A = this chain, B = another copy of it.
Amino acid sequence: MSSEFGKALKIQIFGASHGKAIGVVADGLPAGERIDEDELYRFLCRRRPGSSPLTTARNEADRPVFLSGLENGVTTGSPLCAVIENSDRRSGDYALFKDKPRPSHADYTALLRYGSEVDMRGGGHFSGRLTAPLAVIGGISKQILEKRGISIGAHLKTVGAAEDEDFPLYPDRSLFDAIAAKSIACISDSAAEAMAREIENARLELDSVGGVIECAAVGVPAGLGSPMFDGVENRLAAAVFGIPAVKGIEFGSGFAAAKSRGSDNNDPFIIDGGRIITEKNDAGGILGGITTAMPLVFRAAFKPTPSIAKTQKTVDLSRMENCEITIPGRHDPCIAIRAVPVIEAVTAAVILDMMLEEKKYGTV
């Protein structure tokens, strides 16, 4: 397995959903950065299960313990290790799937890849629970970036058929804070209500529903990224697909650009108060893989939770015959809802990594 990303800031995730603990080691954080642990915990709570009737009932403290790299709230420069205990592990629920892989889940491919020795209870190392340590390092990165005037926020753009409005051309920290304070991360409250209904309906029908998260980073310096394989899009995409259930990513106008004309999609440069900006931002703040200083904007598509309560067709591997499966236990009817801070976290970690790596070019 390779559960690492980053170059100047190497982030290694470890643990499995039903082991003793999960955690993260981050090698390359700058020394001397003060981290507000309460703010970090509030950030982590945004992805916590059990915080809303719309998410899974699994309840955990998920408070990270820092074994190294952070002393008295200040980064030491040596590799940081944060650990989160798995306090609530019920393994019985999952025995079933060893023989009957859940459709569109990783049970089957994990078995192919690692063999039956590997304990896949709860999704093992494939579990969405691994996004908790990702949120820890992302939350830390976010604080470090904020001190440098870079803010990152995300909202649910769609859940099923319900749709939130787009970010404005220049979203700001106060908008991000307002969204983060809501139980469903939307700009528009009526969109949040429509999404809540979509999710509740899916749950009542023993089903689940997908969603799209839109993320923006404002204040990112211009000139970050490199052409070809080390651009901001390459790096962000590679990391975002590390979040379970992501099946697509698009930057700026994305797939809509493919249906457009150049004269519509091109963003004219203009002078604005002595600075060069673009009149609109269909590029999502990135040209040739490099930031323009316009807000960096992307959207990630989350598939509906594959674990649904409805009975489904699958195969019995021990008998090699078709069968049915009814998945008991806890599962979110909509993964996307809890993934909003995770998308922010991954974005913060990638941007911080790229800024640390490229400080040589004067961007930081």
Q: Tell me the A residues contacting B by CB distance below 8 Å.
A: 1-5, 7-8, 10, 12-16, 19-23, 25, 27-28, 31-32, 65-69, 71, 74, 76-81, 83, 101, 103-106, 108-110, 112-115, 117-119, 124-126, 130, 158, 160-161, 202, 205, 207-212, 222-223, 225-231, 233-235, 237-239, 241-242, 244, 246-255, 257-271, 274, 276, 278-279, 282-284, 286-292, 301-308, 310, 312-315, 317, 320-322, 336, 356-357, 359-361, 364
Let me know if A78 and B253 touch, CB within 8 A: no
- Give the number of copies in the complex: 4
**Chain A binding surface SS class:** mixed
Known A1-B79, A118-B77, A244-B288: A315·B276 in contact at CB below 8 Å: yes
Q: Which of A10, A66, A234 has the most CB of B within 10 A?
A: A234
A207: B residues at CB distance < 8 A: 261-263
A161: B residues at CB distance < 8 A: 259
Q: Using A103-B269, A108-B269, A109-B291 as known contacts, list a sample of 5 further A-B pairs with CB atoms less than 8 Å apart, ordered by residue number in A.
A: A4-B12, A14-B27, A14-B81, A106-B290, A237-B238
Complexed CA–CA distance, A83 and B65 (Å): 13
Complexed CA–CA distance, A117 and B78 (Å): 11
A307: B residues at CB distance < 8 A: 262
Let me know if B312 and A266 touch, CB within 8 A: yes
